Structures are given as C-alpha cells and as structure tokens.
Amino acid sequence: MEAEGSFSSQCRYSYEECKETADWLLAHTEQRPKVAIICGSGLGSLADLLGNKTVFPYKAIPRFPVSTVPGHAGQLVFGTLQGREIVCMQGRFHFYEGYNMQTVTYPVRVFSLLGVETLIVTNASGGLNGSYNVGDIMLIKDQINMPGFAGENPLCGPNDERFGVRFLCMSDAYDRELMVLARHTAEEQGCDSFLQEGVYCMVAGPTYETIAECRVLQTLGADAVGMSTVPEVVVARHCGLRVLGLSLITNKVVTQYESTDRVNHEEVLQTTKTRAEDLQRLVSNLITKI
C-alpha cells in the first residue's frame, strides 16, 4: 500500500475522468454555461439569484468530492442570471479538509470541459491591510500561494497538454479587463465606497494565523488572507479561463499581542450574511457585462 500523499495519489484525476464527469452533467441539463461562480463561506446565497435552476448535490455527481465546512451547502447549481446561463458551486473544497490539491481543483477542470470561459471566485478573508474595514469587498488583483511555496501546487505531477502548458505564466492570473468592469459596476451600484483592491494570500489552515504569521504576510505584501481560492485560480488559468476574484473582508487580523480579539468562524459567517446582498447585486450586474 502506498503512503498517503504519494506521487500517484497526487495525480488522481485524468483528462478522461474529468470528461466523464462533464459529460454526465451535460447529459442531465440542457444549460451550457459560459460563466462559473465559486461561492465562499457564507456566500452560497449567490446561487439563490439563479432562475430556471437545476440542482445537483455533490454526492450525486460522479467523482465529485463532498464539502464538509459549515456555510457550504455542497451542491452544483445550473441556472440563468440576467439572461445568462451560469453554473454555481454552493460550497468549495479545501486542502485543510484532507483533500489533495488535485481534488480541491477538480470542479474547475470539469467547468472547462463544460465550455465555461470565465470563472468568478469569491471567498471570506481576514483583512491584513490596516486601511480595510470589516465588510469591505476586495477585488483581488494578485495572489500569494503559500502552500505552493511548500510544494503543494495543483499542477505538480505529469502535465496533460489537453488542459494546458507545462509551465504556466501567472503574472496575469486575474483578468484586468474584468477588474475594470467590476470597478465600473461597483460605481454604478453604489458599492465603490467599500470596494478595495489588493493581494490575496492563501494559507493551508485550518488554524487561523498567529500574530507573528500575520506580520510576516503583511511584510510580503498581502492585503487579505484566507484558506482557499488560489488553487482554483491556478487550474483555471491552466485551462485558459479568465478569472475575477472577490474577497469579502469578514474580520481584521490580530497583529498586536495586547489585543483581546479572537477570530472565529461564526463571526465570518455573520459578516458575510450582512454584506451578502451587496455582493449579490455587484455580481449579478457584472454578469451582464461579461
């Protein structure tokens, strides 16, 4: 028996397996979405905006993992939004749940084979930038892949050219045209007063960061920190998808030892609940311009 984390377990899904899942979904819905949305913690209500919905629990989809985190419904929703066909993940998968990076990013591979061209990723994150307020929405302009620094990159292992190139350029990870559209949409919707733009850093979790770790991330240039998003963006770019990232600042990280503040998941979910309507309005109107 091979040890957990061995090379073979890191290369779990083949192109044919991804295609089998995509073909199953295509056979069970008439919708052909060009845009996919991944909903972060507490942000699954974005899928509630869809009309003409077809809902697939993850456990019903061949080879799909199952989300285990509170605030993640665990279902794939096809539907229409502002006249556009959309597929929406209500709940994502995380490295800290015990999944390897290939499993975490499996849905993105499937999306590419469904014909999706644009991926919108959302998440809940902690604010490292001192000028950010709880409830701000950060437009992600770049990312720091901390697990990748430690060798946990979803592109490790044999490369299949049918998905993308062996050595992937990531200097254009987040689509600049989509960012401009998002800013204009925020201005139109009156959301620009709490719209920020910054760098998202992924850590493995599930522990929240220590004070010393937060200071390190600030020194590296990170404006917000979370436990997701980066692997999906890497694979989306590998598959040629355009990416837009939106991060909801649900708490301010603790950087002073004298502080008595303690971050917790319930606080994260409560903040997303109060700001969800604004984020829904922003995404909904942005969809019409993509």
What confidence tens digit (pLDDT) does each residue in 160-218 have?
Answer: 999 999 999 999 999 999 999 999 999 998 888 899 999 999 999 899 999 999 999 99
Average pLDDT over residues 134-160: 95
| Separation of alpha carbons 108 and 234, rounded Å | 10
Task: Check whether 8 has a pLDDT greater than 50.
Answer: no
Mean of pLDDT values over 227-237? 97
Catalytic residue check, 247: no
User: How does pLDDT run across 79-125, given as a tens digit for each residue?
Assistant: 998 889 999 999 899 999 999 999 999 999 999 999 999 999 999 89
96 is catalytic: yes
Distance of alpha carbon 136 from the chain centroid: 17
pLDDT value of residue 254: 77
Is 131 in the active site? no
Specify whether 97 is catalytic: yes
Q: Is 228 annotated as catalytic? A: yes
265 catalytic, yes or no? yes
pLDDT at 7 over 80: no
- The tens digit of pLDDT for each residue in 256-282 reads 777 666 666 676 666 667 777 888 889
Q: Where are the domains of the chain?
A: 7-287
Euclidean distance between CA atoms 43 and 276, whole angstroms? 6
Which residues have CB under 8 Å from 154's CB, separation 6+? 101, 102, 104, 105, 231, 234, 235
pTM: 0.90
Pick among 3.10.180.10, 3.40.30.10, 3.40.50.2300, 3.40.50.1580: CATH of 7-287? 3.40.50.1580
Concerning whether 4 is annotated as a catalytic residue, the answer is: no
Q: Which of 47, 89, 101, 124 is catalytic?
A: 124
